Amino acid sequence: MGTGRSLMKILYSCIPFDHGKSGISVYIRHALAALAEAGHEITLVVEAEAADEPVFAPFPKITAPRWARKAILNMMWHLFILPFFIRREKYDLFYIAAANRRAVAFSSVPVAAVVHDLAAHRLPGKYDRFRTIYQTRVLPFFIRRADFPVAISEATADDMTKFLKIPREKITVSWDGLSLPMTPPAGTFLKKHGLEPGGYLLYISRLEHPAKNHCALIEAYEKLPEELTGRFRLVLGGSDWHGAEAVHARAEASPLADRILLPGFIAEEDLEEIYRGAAAYVFPSLFEGFGLSLIEAMHYGVPCACSSNSSLGELGKGAALLFDPNDVDAIADALKQLLGSPEMRRQLIESGHRRAGDFTWKKHVERIIYAASSNRN
């Protein structure tokens, strides 16, 4: 495998940035930093509301107007207006950081389209009707036209072939990197929320029902013996998303409601503290293109359990306890082992830390640049 050392003039799409509060925004920040560190010349495509984000300050920008915020209008802007800006410069590559969320502009510039997941194909009820049609009927047309389709896991690559009919040999698979915080830890989160180090079970994901499976995790937590629920609280960190009201209602109705904490979005400066303080990490999602927080937890020495499906089974194999996310009893059994077996915990901490070392942003962007530069010559 080549190293992708060829330097390029790259147009890098940061749309959608989601106000910096999603896995996509984490990807955008870290992949951008890795590209810049490698020495590439970068111009950004950003949304108007994200143009002033500090992480984007060092780079020249093409800014989409505020009227282009909605998916269809954003697509129109990409198709009919952005190409005029692109023609002004001779870019080597148009790097679309979230091709499964926004349309790819047509231009003479080669396009690398990064696909994080095809959840709308796998989970038909995940989005409303309009967004489902957009993601299953409209976006596939644009992704198929990309010169260099990129999947962030083998599971996503398989889905791209199955649902988008992209030949498997055309797809570059490049795992995401380990996303360490870019800001120093504040060190105040646990005290603010009344948490004790080693006294809670953690899950960080946007509150999205049913896709992220929070309600099943709450039910599994309720099945634990009192000795464990008395020692370990359940912390569900993340912003409200589609269906969040169901998660809040389930937590409030739980007989263990006083042991369940929903602190909202976890700021970057609080991530290291909350990971290091966790007794265990669990990721029960019904589907993931890549489980960033799973790798982060492994890095910080937290024993992990995760779903056996999609990319989570791929990432967690040999380094985390795997369970069927549709089986509440299986989730509960995994939690009992995580919290109750010192030997199991030791093994998972060691294997997880080794596993986390496989993921770097440098490797991720090098793979993409290598694929593009190999076909440029």
The pLDDT of residue 106 is: 67
Q: Which domain holds residue 86?
A: 9-177+360-376
Tens of pLDDT along 278-291?
999 999 999 888 88
Do 344 and 201 fall within a single domain? yes
| Helix or strand holding residue 103 (H, E) | none
Q: For residue 16, is the peptide bond before it cis, meaning its omega torsion is within 30 degrees of 0?
A: yes
Percent of the chain at pLDDT above 90? Answer: 69
Do 82 and 13 fall within a single domain? yes
Do 138 and 217 fall within a single domain? no
Tens of pLDDT along 123-141?
877 777 888 888 888 888 8
Do 83 and 109 fall within a single domain? yes
Q: How high is the mean pLDDT of the chain? A: 91
Do 88 and 35 fall within a single domain? yes
Domain tally, the chain = 2
The model's pTM is 0.81
Tens of pLDDT along 364-373?
999 999 999 8
Dihedral Cα 58, 59, 62, 68, nearest 10 deg: -50
Q: Would you place residue 105 in the very low, low, confident or very high pLDDT band (cuts 50, 70, 90)?
A: low
* Burial of 333 per CB tally in 10 Å (0-12, 13-18, 19+): middle
- CATH number where 50 lies: 3.40.50.2000
φ/ψ region of 166 (left if φ > 0, alpha if ψ in -120 to 50, else beta) reads beta
Residue 182: inside a domain: no
Range in 96-100, 171-175, 192-196 with the lowest mean pLDDT: 96-100
Percent of the chain at pLDDT above 70? Answer: 97
Q: Which amino acid is at 242?
A: H
Residue 114: inside a domain: yes
Q: Is the pLDDT of residue 215 over 50?
A: yes
The pLDDT of residue 16 is: 84
The pLDDT of residue 3 is: 46
Residue 255: inside a domain: yes
Do 167 and 216 fall within a single domain? no
Tens of pLDDT along 17-53?
888 777 788 899 999 999 999 999 999 999 999 889 9
Name the DSSP class of 124.
T
Do 202 and 76 fall within a single domain? no
Nearest to 94, CA basis, from 85, 107, 84? 107
